[in-house]
């Protein structure tokens, strides 16, 4: 029987929480697997002492197994108490005037990688929430400082006056106009046709401005009210150097509509801006001055709303007096549109966004993943029990903002707090707001909030709350994850790392769970060792694992298949398919040898002050039709990135070892079975790489240069092996 915890307010159920059925079998298996690992460690020590194989090999294998064991321990803590929650938004019964105010933060940073129309659609989709319109304020942060984005939002404000009533009167579910109008699944009324024409006209106007690269105020702007602001884009204006621009594009004082505010914080080349974390802190302050809503939704500009009731789902938790005292945030999963059938690049990120999150949820709550997250504003100002006061009273989280947002002093203060030197000698970024110092500001900030005692909740309604965009070519995928790797390492090697700081502040399981991410980049160690060493030994006929007749052989078989089977079961139980799982585990190897590997290098260079890693925004504008077609057909797209070198190198070594192993099968008999199996497994995983090396001629193939360099590396490795292994 499944235990169920119900949370009720005046006997009305707002949300329930069920432990997953797999919990018990998983705990039992954890004990068995632990015994297996202890036996393996014993075997390692025994081999070290009796050393029949070269010492270096035994040591490297031991090191890899230690890393794998640690990561396994972190995964086990995430499998200890997985839970599933359900909300009952229909039971949320506040009167419209009693709904809490909601501030929505949307971040954008580059009008060419993040098309202004996309930003406008995201803004429109949340403005149209099933929520009292005058309680919503949408703040768009534009780190690209682009007049094109401002123009698109101006158009969106005008269009919203038609779009919002249309959605609400017709109970439209797709509230991103782009999604609604490109869907074929509904009938068109006259009214819908009219709105569609309006939308298309707006899109054309925006496209015209984007194509010409600037806003021609005489031609494109009809209302005098907005003309002046474009004069700010003078000849001195660059995205790295410009004054603060705050423009209220629509406000609820004149009509019952959401506020829409464009914010581009002041930038100067000499002041650090802390990327997205800095942008969000600016929005925290600007919104404090203007509306100071107790609830904040943060979104990346590609994450449009797909479920108009999402805020109600979040309110089921945030309004529950039994838990909301220490509830810091309600995190929704990141879901993506346009992923191919079997998800060849594992872009769904099922493990981080579904499987692991469910595990975190049964401990202290999910990590923060940067977007689709409803925050309790208070959580940014110290622990639940001790408020950290901001620099000025106007920024306090509990203040009631009752001045009109268009009033002179409100606007003046808003400009002031968006200045690039405002944060100097304040607690912003350290004790208040989003934390600075990591390229994964989301993970880092969530971690610090948990350490302060805030809890979080994972909310995943059946109808996905948000959909975003995921990279569609492998270079972008590994590039994005390399940024994450650098960001994670910045946390792992800081004063506030999950091991020392985490163990002090959190429960054992929770800090171990955080370590799971902190040590993500360390996967590259076992992957490199297991990807090269046994294979090299195989080429020289040196045995590094027990032979088939040795009972220890079965321990290796058990650990490998046990771990893989559990990984598969995780995946299937959270709604995945076999094919997607297979692709996911392949991507894990690819990431290990590209993103993680180069992330390590980049981080080392940064530590030695030889480079300053930047936040490379992932492109959401894909114009390469051939590439998109390959993606649809599930053909790997490698391209000319040097990131693919290690992976190609490992693929070649495995192929050689496998062929050589098969050739010598009779001579070596059972001695090298495990090594041959390992190489065989790698070869099967590498099939798309061989294809891209030898059979393909399109732009997505592996460049000759990469193959050639990988060939040279293989040669060097084999020569080195001669000295160590012969």
Q: Which of 92, 139, 275, 454 binds ligand UPG (CB under 6 A)?
A: 275
Closest CA to 166 of 209, 127, 212: 127
Which residue number, 347 or 460, has a Cβ lying nearer to Mn ion?
347
Q: Which of 114, 174, 320, 394 binds ligand UPG (CB under 6 A)?
A: 114
Q: Which of 328, 352, 370, 397 binds ligand UPG (CB under 6 A)?
A: 370
d(CA 244, CA 238): 12
Three-state DSSP class for 207?
helix
d(CA 311, CA 137): 13
Of 65, 103, 134, 143, which one is the catalytic site residue? 143
Q: Which of 40, 83, 102, 109 binds ligand UPG (CB under 6 A)?
A: 109
Structure token pair of residue 479: 């590039």
Evaluate whether 700 touches 635 at the Cβ level (below 8 Å).
yes
Total binding residues toward Mn ion, as defined by CB under 5 A? 1
Task: Indicate left, alpha or beta for 546 from its phi (over 0: left) and psi (-120 to 50: alpha).
Answer: beta
Q: Using CB distances below 5 to 8 A depending on partner kind, what does residue 370 bind out of ligand UPG, Mn ion, none?
A: ligand UPG
Q: Interface with ligand UPG by CB under 6 A: which range of 108-116, 400-408, 582-590, 592-600?
A: 108-116
Q: What is the DSSP code string of 139-185?
A: EEEETT--HHHHHHHHHHHHHHHHHHHHHHHHT-S--SHHHHHH--S
Tell me, residue by residue from 262 to 301, as one string, x for binding to Mn ion by CB under 5 A and - for no binding: --------------------------------------x-
The verdict on whether 320 is a catalytic residue reads no
| 99 sits near ligand UPG (criterion: CB under 6 A) | no
Q: Which of 331, 445, 618, 685 binds ligand UPG (CB under 6 A)?
A: 618
Which residue number, 301 or 355, has a Cβ lying nearer to ligand UPG?
301
**Contacts to ligand UPG from residues 453-492, by CB under 6 A:** 480, 483-484, 487
Q: Min. distance of Cβ 199 from ligand UPG in angstroms?
A: 23
d(CA 44, CA 69): 13
How many C-beta neighbours within 10 Å does residue 306 have? 21
Q: Using CB distances below 5 to 8 A depending on partner kind, what does residue 301 bind out of ligand UPG, Mn ion, none?
A: ligand UPG
Closest CA to 535 of 681, 683, 676, 723: 676
d(CA 277, CA 281): 6
| 570 sits near ligand UPG (criterion: CB under 6 A) | no
Which residue number, 77 or 141, has a Cβ lying nearer to ligand UPG?
141
Of 103, 442, 570, 584, which one is the catalytic site residue? 442
Q: Using CB distances below 5 to 8 A depending on partner kind, what does residue 276 bind out of ligand UPG, Mn ion, none?
A: ligand UPG
Q: Min. distance of Cβ 707 from ligand UPG in angstroms?
A: 29
| 371 sits near ligand UPG (criterion: CB under 6 A) | yes
Q: Interface with ligand UPG by CB under 6 A: which range of 180-188, 554-562, 612-620, 635-643?
A: 612-620
Which residue number, 13 or 268, has a Cβ lying nearer to ligand UPG?
268
Which residue number, 272 or 404, has a Cβ lying nearer to ligand UPG?
272
The residue behind tokens 């304020």 is 137
| 300 sits near ligand UPG (criterion: CB under 6 A) | yes
Closest CA to 594 of 692, 533, 527, 686: 527
Tell me, residue by residue from 400 to 439, as one string, x for binding to ligand UPG by CB under 6 A and - for no binding: ---------------------------------------x
Q: Which of 246, 249, 279, 559 binds ligand UPG (CB under 6 A)?
A: 279
The verdict on whether 174 is a catalytic residue reads no
Quote the DSSP letter at residue 106. E
CA dihedral 449, 452, 455, 460 (to 10 degrees): 10
| 108 sits near ligand UPG (criterion: CB under 6 A) | yes
* Per-position b or e across 510-519, b if 16+ CB within 10 A of its CB: bbbbbbbbbb
d(CA 352, CA 354): 6
How many C-beta neighbours within 10 Å does residue 623 have? 7
Q: Using CB distances below 5 to 8 A depending on partner kind, what does residue 333 bind out of ligand UPG, Mn ion, none?
A: none
Structure token pair of residue 628: 């998109």
Q: Which of 29, 503, 615, 724 binds ligand UPG (CB under 6 A)?
A: 615
| 636 sits near ligand UPG (criterion: CB under 6 A) | no
Closest CA to 474 of 596, 648, 631: 631
Q: Min. distance of Cβ 277 from ligand UPG in angstroms?
A: 8
Q: Min. distance of Cβ 107 from ligand UPG in angstroms?
A: 4
Total binding residues toward ligand UPG, as defined by CB under 6 A? 24
Q: Min. distance of Cβ 372 from Mn ion in angstroms?
A: 11
Evaluate whether 535 touches 657 at the Cβ level (below 8 Å).
yes
Element (H, E) at 304: strand 304-305
Q: Using CB distances below 5 to 8 A depending on partner kind, what does residue 312 bind out of ligand UPG, Mn ion, none?
A: none
| 672, β-bridge pairs | none
Which sign, positive or negative, has the C-alpha torsion 430, 433, 437, 442?
A: positive
Q: Using CB distances below 5 to 8 A depending on partner kind, what does residue 133 bind out of Mn ion, ligand UPG, none?
A: none
Q: Using CB distances below 5 to 8 A depending on partner kind, what does residue 480 bind out of Mn ion, ligand UPG, none?
A: ligand UPG
Which sign, positive or negative, has the C-alpha torsion 342, 347, 351, 355?
A: negative
Q: Min. distance of Cβ 303 from ligand UPG in angstroms?
A: 8
| 583 sits near ligand UPG (criterion: CB under 6 A) | no
Three-state DSSP class for 417?
helix
Closest CA to 485 of 282, 328, 643: 643
CA angle 285, 289, 292 (to 5 degrees): 85
Three-state DSSP class for 56?
helix
| 440 sits near ligand UPG (criterion: CB under 6 A) | yes
Pairing of strands 373-376, 327-331: antiparallel
Q: Min. distance of Cβ 89 from ligand UPG in angstroms?
A: 25
Residues acting as catalytic residues: 143, 442
Site residues, Mn ion (CB under 5 A) = 300
The residues binding ligand UPG (CB under 6 A) are: 107-109, 114, 141, 143, 275-276, 279, 300-301, 370-371, 439-442, 480, 483-484, 487, 615, 617-618
């Amino acid at each position: 029987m499944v235990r169920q915890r119900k949370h009720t307010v005046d006997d009305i159920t707002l949300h329930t929480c069920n432990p997953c059925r797999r919990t018990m079998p998983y705990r039992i298996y954890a004990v068995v697997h632990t015994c297996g690992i202890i036996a393996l460690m014993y075997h390692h020590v025994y081999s070290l002492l009796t050393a029949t194989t070269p010492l270096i090999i035994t040591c490297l294998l031991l090191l890899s197994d230690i890393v794998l064991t640690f990561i396994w321990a972190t995964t086990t803590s995430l499998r200890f108490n997985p839970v599933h929650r359900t909300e009952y938004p229909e039971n949320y019964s506040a009167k419209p005037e009693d709904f809490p105010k909601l501030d929505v933060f949307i971040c954008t940073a580059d009008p060419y990688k993040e098309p202004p129309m996309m930003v406008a659609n995201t803004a429109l989709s949340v403005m149209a929430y099933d929520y009292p319109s005058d309680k919503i304020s949408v703040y768009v942060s534009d780190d690209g400082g682009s007049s094109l984005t401002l123009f698109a939002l101006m158009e969106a404000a005008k269009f919203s006056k038609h779009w919002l009533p249309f959605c609400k009167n017709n109970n439209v579910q797709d509230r991103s106009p782009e999604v609604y109008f490109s869907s074929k699944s509904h009938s068109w009324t006259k009214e819908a046709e009219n709105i569609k024409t309006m939308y298309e006209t707006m899109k054309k106007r925006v496209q015209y401005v984007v194509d010409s690269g600037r806003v021609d105020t005489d031609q494109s702007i009809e209302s005098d009210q907005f003309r002046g602001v474009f004069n700010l884009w003078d000849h001195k204006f660059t995205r790295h150097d410009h004054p603060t621009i705050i423009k209220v594009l629509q406000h609820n004082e004149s009509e019952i509509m959401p506020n829409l505010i464009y914010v581009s914080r002041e930038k100067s080349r000499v002041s650090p801006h802390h990327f997205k974390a800095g942008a969000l802190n600016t929005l925290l302050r600007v919104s404090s001055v203007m509306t100071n809503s107790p609830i904040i939704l943060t979104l990346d500009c590609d994450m449009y709303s797909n479920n108009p009731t999402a805020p109600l789902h979040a309110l089921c938790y945030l309004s529950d007096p039994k838990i909301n005292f220490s509830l810091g945030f309600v995190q929704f999963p990141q879901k993506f549109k346009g992923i191919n059938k079997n998800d060849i690049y594992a872009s769904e990120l099922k493990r981080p966004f579904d499987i692991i999150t469910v595990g975190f949820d049964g401990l202290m709550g999910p990590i923060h993943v940067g977007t689709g997250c409803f925050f309790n504003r208070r959580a940014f100002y110290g622990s639940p029990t001790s408020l950290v006061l901001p620099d000025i009273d106007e920024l306090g989280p509990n203040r009631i903002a009752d001045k009109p947002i268009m009033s002179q002093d409100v606007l003046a203060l808003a400009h002031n707090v968006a200045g690039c030197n405002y944060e100097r000698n304040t607690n912003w970024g350290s004790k208040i707001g989003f934390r600075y110092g990591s390229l994964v500001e989301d993970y880092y900030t969530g971690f610090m909030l948990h350490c302060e005692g805030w809890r979080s909740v994972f909310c995943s309604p059946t109808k996905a709350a948000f959909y975003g965009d995921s990279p569609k070519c492998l270079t972008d995928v590994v590039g994005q994850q390399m940024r994450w790797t650098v960001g994670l390492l910045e946390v792992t090697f800081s004063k506030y790392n999950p091991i020392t700081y985490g163990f002090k502040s959190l429960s054992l399981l929770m800090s171990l769970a955080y370590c799971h991410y902190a040590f993500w980049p360390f996967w590259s160690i076992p992957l490199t060792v297991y990807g090269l060493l046994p294979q090299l030994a195989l080429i020289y006929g040196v045995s590094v694992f027990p032979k088939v007749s040795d009972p220890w052989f079965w321990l290796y078989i058990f650990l490998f298949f046990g771990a893989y089977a559990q990984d598969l079961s995780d995946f299937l139980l959270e709604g995945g398919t076999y094919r997607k799982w297979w692709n996911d585990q392949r991507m894990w190897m690819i990431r290990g040898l590209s993103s993680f590997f180069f992330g390590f290098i980049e981080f080392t260079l940064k530590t030695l002050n030889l480079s300053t890693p930047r936040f490379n925004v992932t492109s959401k504008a894909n114009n390469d039709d051939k590439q998109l077609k390959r993606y649809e057909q599930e053909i790997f797209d490698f391209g000319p990135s040097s990131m693919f070198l290690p992976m190609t190198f490992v693929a070649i070594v495995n192929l050689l070892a496998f062929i050589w192993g098969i050739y010598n099968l009779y001579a070596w008999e059972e001695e090298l079975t495990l090594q041959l199996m390992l190489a065989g497994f790698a070869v099967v995983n590498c099939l798309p790489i061989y294809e891209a090396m030898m059979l393909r001629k399109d732009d997505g193939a592996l460049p000759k240069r990469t193959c050639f360099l990988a060939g040279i590396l293989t040669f060097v490795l084999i020569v080195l092996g001669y000295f160590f292994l012969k």
